[in-house]
Amino acid sequence: MQLPAQVQIPMQETTTPDFTVGPLDLTVIIVYLVASRIIPLWLGARAKKKSTKESSETESYFLGGRNFIWPFVGLSLVATNMSGATFVGLAGGAYNQGISIFAYEWMTTVILAVFIFFILPFYLRSGVFTLPEFLEKRFDRRSRMAFAGFNLFANMFIDMAAALFAGAIVVQTLYPEVPIWVAVAALAILAAIYTVVGGLGAVMISDSIQATVTILGGLIVFIATWRAIPSWDAVYETAGDDKMSLILPADNPDLPWPGLITGVLIIGLYYWTTNQLVVQRTLGARSLDHGRWGALMAGFIKLTFLFLFILPGVMALTLYDLDNPDTVFPTLVFDLLPAGLSGLIVAAVIAAITSTVDSILNSASTIVTMDFVKTFKPETTDRSLVLIGRIATVVALVVAIIWAPFIAQFDTLYNYLQSVLSYLVPPVVAVFLMGIGWKRVNATAAFLTLVILQPLGVIAFIFIEVNEVIELQFLYASGIGFATALIMLTVISIVGKTPDLEKTDELTWKRKYWKEETDTLRGTPVWANYRVLTGIMLAATVGLVVWFA
């Protein structure tokens, strides 16, 4: 899109909205938060009674009895992703660097296409509880333990800490006198209530409610911001070419265009295809079709994030001069919306943040229970496993509460998330993709790639991002790490022992699967054919990217 001719715009003023939470707002917030806990627990308890009759207690608690239909899968995927990093991070990132941050969203549709075509079928075919368990079935126990350990680390120090910090920003915007650690702890406890009690069933129901309300909330804020700006031309004039373009030059410090391939794609593949936190929703799907349709639903919703969360952040440039970009979203809410409605949006934001935290807690407890306890003590009863999972939930929560305040040293929340992942996840993505795509990859190659390159990634992150010893854009660092992992996997596999082909036969890609499925899909209605729906989703993605490029 081209910048329009010069237009006259009003002089930008520094505006300080009144963040006072009035009685009506406070009432709405309390009622919503209480209802959003009671309803999932009640419905989750009813669903649990039904699922425990058809499946084990552990399967019911950790995977909801594997009986979720596609709308719940799709909305839960969106809610898990729609954390404070969406409300606070996307709006703040857009205010700071422009609409190019949408790359992390539109690239999701490409990644989900890969997921539903080539990865999800193998996960469901294996019948696993966790993705580390899948690595044991494909490789061996060493890889399972290594990846399970990383998943716990990522859950506590990256995913959950970032979500809690985002929520604390919202709370401190409303109540500046509240210490950040108090805000973090309060949000954590709020999230833990139904995670500990209800398991994945309650979490999925809660996620579906939160996703629906927060999407509506984002739409309301977009409309209010659109009505408040002087004009669309004024937004272009204030933002400039760089901030109104999806594709940025290769030397851009925030999101250079080669980084879309070397970094954004790799980070997205980790998050949507190898992260237990996200994939656990599809593992609980009733069937492969329901898992695929749910993922497609999530992809279509992600495309709307440009309008719901990113453009309001850019439009805010014509309205405010803010020192902290991460305060953009709460500023828009309290400055532009009437009392009561602003309370509902704040409640939705807090609920979305706690919804992400509850998902992370369930993921962490599943890994502790099924990958560590069940593996080393297989005689443990189902009831004991559920109890251990609840204890693990509390421990993970405490660790995240302690770490979350340290995120404040990064420029924006999104910078923290993307820079950390860029150094840590390339080996994980390489192991999963190569393991499914090439039967020659052996167990030793997978294990060594994880235990050598991931610690090196931590060291590189500290030297480059924290201490700034050398200058390297983090998205390029991701590409370097991924290439190194591919080389390491290939070399060790070729010179090492050939894997047991009987073990890997059902867990690696073959052309016959595509042909067999093609025959099965003949006569399937268009609305139910995941290949047609995927094509529509990708076409919509291309249209958006071309329009805003």
DSSP letter string over 33-60?
Answer: HHHHHHHHHHHHHHHHHHHHHHS-HHHH
Q: What is the pLDDT of residue 538?
A: 96
Mean pLDDT computed over 363-381 = 83
Mean pLDDT computed over 538-546 = 93
Q: What is the pLDDT of residue 488?
A: 97
More confident residue, 13 or 411: 411
Tell me which of 153-157, 284-288, 414-418 is least confident: 414-418
pTM: 0.83
Q: What is the pLDDT of residue 1?
A: 35
Q: Which is nearest to 382 in space by CA: 52, 40, 46?
A: 52
CB 478 within 8 A of CB 422: yes
Q: Say if residue 288's pLDDT is above 50.
A: yes
Residue at 67: amino acid letter:
N
Per-residue confidence at 373, pLDDT binned at 50, 70, 90? confident
Q: What is the pLDDT of residue 52?
A: 46
d(CA 108, CA 302): 7
CB 352 within 8 A of CB 82: yes
Report the percentage of the chain scoring pLDDT > 90: 26
Q: Which is nearest to 317 in space by CA: 94, 102, 166?
A: 94
Per-residue confidence at 513, pLDDT binned at 50, 70, 90? confident
d(CA 234, CA 31): 39
| Contacts with 404 (C-beta within 8 Å, 6 or more apart), sequence order | 160, 161, 162, 164, 165, 168, 180, 181, 184
Q: Say if residue 11's pLDDT is above 70.
A: no
Mean pLDDT computed over 406-435 = 78
More confident residue, 17 or 374: 374
| Contacts with 398 (C-beta within 8 Å, 6 or more apart), sequence order | none
Q: Say if residue 478's pLDDT is above 90.
A: yes
* Most confident of the ranges 5-9, 75-79, 418-422: 75-79
Q: Which fold has domain 23-548?
A: Sodium/glucose cotransporter (1.20.1730)
CB 168 within 8 A of CB 404: yes
Take residue 512 and report the two structure tokens written for it.
Answer: 């016959």
Q: What is the pLDDT of residue 18?
A: 62
Mean pLDDT computed over 425-438 = 94
DSSP letter string over 69-102?
Answer: -HHHHHHHHHHHH-SHIIIIIIHHHHHHH-GGGG
Per-residue confidence at 393, pLDDT binned at 50, 70, 90? confident
Q: What is the pLDDT of residue 9?
A: 35
* Most confident of the ranges 293-302, 338-347, 383-392: 293-302
DSSP letter string over 436-460?
Answer: HH-TT--HHHHHHHHHHHHHHHHHH
Average pLDDT over the chain, rounded to whole? 81
Alpha helices in 462-529 (DSSP H): 474-495, 501-504, 511-521
Q: How far apart are the first and last CA of the chain?
A: 6
Class of residue 471 by CB neighbours under 10 A (exposed 0-12, middle 13-18, buried 19+):
exposed
Residue at 413: amino acid letter:
L
CB 493 within 8 A of CB 440: yes
8-13: long-range pairs with CB below 8 Å, 24+ = 9/230, 9/231, 9/233, 9/234, 9/237, 9/238, 9/318, 10/230, 10/234, 12/238, 12/317, 12/318, 12/319, 12/320, 12/321, 13/321
Q: What is the pLDDT of residue 60?
A: 53
Q: Say if residue 108's pLDDT is above 80.
A: yes
Q: What is the pLDDT of residue 415?
A: 60
Residue at 339: amino acid letter:
A
Q: Say if residue 163's pLDDT is above 70.
A: yes
Take residue 41 and report the two structure tokens written for it.
Answer: 């627990």
d(CA 232, CA 227): 10
Residue burial 20-47, b: 16+ Cβ < 10 Å; e: rest: ebeeebeebbeebbeebbeebbebbeeb
Quick count: other Cβ atoms within 10 Å of Cβ 131?
Answer: 27
Mean pLDDT computed over 24-44 = 76
Q: What is the pLDDT of residue 44?
A: 58
Quick count: other Cβ atoms within 10 Å of Cβ 122?
Answer: 20
> Distances from the Cα of 237 to the Cαs of 52, 221, 312, 413, in angstroms?
59, 22, 15, 26
CB 77 within 8 A of CB 306: no
Quick count: other Cβ atoms within 10 Å of Cβ 114?
Answer: 17
d(CA 345, CA 326): 16
d(CA 195, CA 233): 47
Q: What is the pLDDT of residue 444?
A: 95
Mean pLDDT computed over 424-439 = 94
User: Is residue 141 within a helix (H) or strand (E), and if so which, with residue range?
Assistant: helix 141-154
Q: pLDDT tens digits, residue range 321-351?
A: 888 787 888 888 888 888 888 888 888 777 7
* Most confident of the ranges 4-18, 293-307, 406-420: 293-307
d(CA 465, CA 470): 9
Q: What is the pLDDT of residue 129?
A: 81
* Domain ranges across the chain: 23-548
d(CA 255, CA 128): 36
Q: What is the pLDDT of residue 298?
A: 94
Per-residue confidence at 198, pLDDT binned at 50, 70, 90? low
Mean pLDDT computed over 383-410 = 74
d(CA 110, CA 107): 5
Class of residue 455 by CB neighbours under 10 A (exposed 0-12, middle 13-18, buried 19+):
exposed
Tell me the longest C-alpha to C-alpha distance in the chain.
74
Q: What is the pLDDT of residue 176?
A: 78
Mean pLDDT computed over 113-130 = 90
User: How far is residue 30 CA from its own chain's centroid?
Assistant: 26
Q: Say if residue 352's pLDDT is above 60.
A: yes
The crossing angle, in degrees rounded to 10, of helices 70-81 and 341-366 is: 100
